Amino acid sequence: MASKSFTKTFFSLLLVSSFAIIHMAIAGDPDIISDFIVPANVTAIDANFFTFTGMRTLVSMAEFPALNGQSVSYDVLYFPAGSINPPHTHVRATGLLFLLQGTLQEGLIDTTNKLYTQTLQAGDMFVFPKGLVHYQYNPDAQTPAVAIAAFGSSNLGSVSVPKALFNTDIDDVVLAKSFETDVATIQALKVGLTPKQ
């Protein structure tokens, strides 16, 4: 009798676990039950609702409300010569970067802390899986780089690693112990991240 009870419990847990894993695997922006979502402050819909003009930089749900529920956003990235987009993550979106001009070094860190780097030339693409830390660096001292990034969410949730660590109220002692250094080094890093007046 104990064997049947154990078997039933085991298969019940297996079934529940399987559903949880499947749900996590397909998680993303929730599906909507209408063709599109109309913001509360919009009273009439015409073709202008579906049009965004003047593309210069990030276009997400905040800038283009028609993206709400559509699981997409877009970004035009300009990298001056020698510049960097510091380590960051997108907690709600996978990103796909297409380099239009210049050279760009891409870095991606997986959950085992393995670093993958690739130097892209115009016409190359690089994918950034959702939630993984990554960065971009233009190593060319003379030529800017321009890229387009597409994201699988209308609200990608960007988190800058340096800002999240050093521009918050995390105690300096906690950071020093975490980085196995001293408080003076942490304070110097914080000063380096402070915007110049």
**CA-angle at 90, arms to 175 and 177, nearest 5°:** 10
- The residue assigned the tokens 């929730």 is 30
Closest CA to 90 of 59, 134, 60: 134
Task: Give the residue numbers of the binding site for oxalate.
Answer: 85, 90
Task: Give the residue numbers of the binding site.
Answer: 85, 88, 90, 134
Q: Counting beta carbons within 10 angstroms of the beta carbon of residue 158, is it exposed (0 to 12), middle (13 to 18) or buried (19 or more)?
A: middle
In this structure, are residues 138 and 86 in contact, taking their beta carbons and an 8 Å threshold?
no
Tell me the C-alpha distance between 67 and 62, whole Å: 9
Tell me the C-alpha distance between 60 and 131, whole Å: 18
Residues 6 or more apart in contact with residue 142 via CB below 8 angstroms: 81
Residues 6 or more apart in contact with residue 56 via CB below 8 angstroms: 76
Task: Give the residue numbers of the binding site for Mn(2+).
Answer: 88, 90, 134
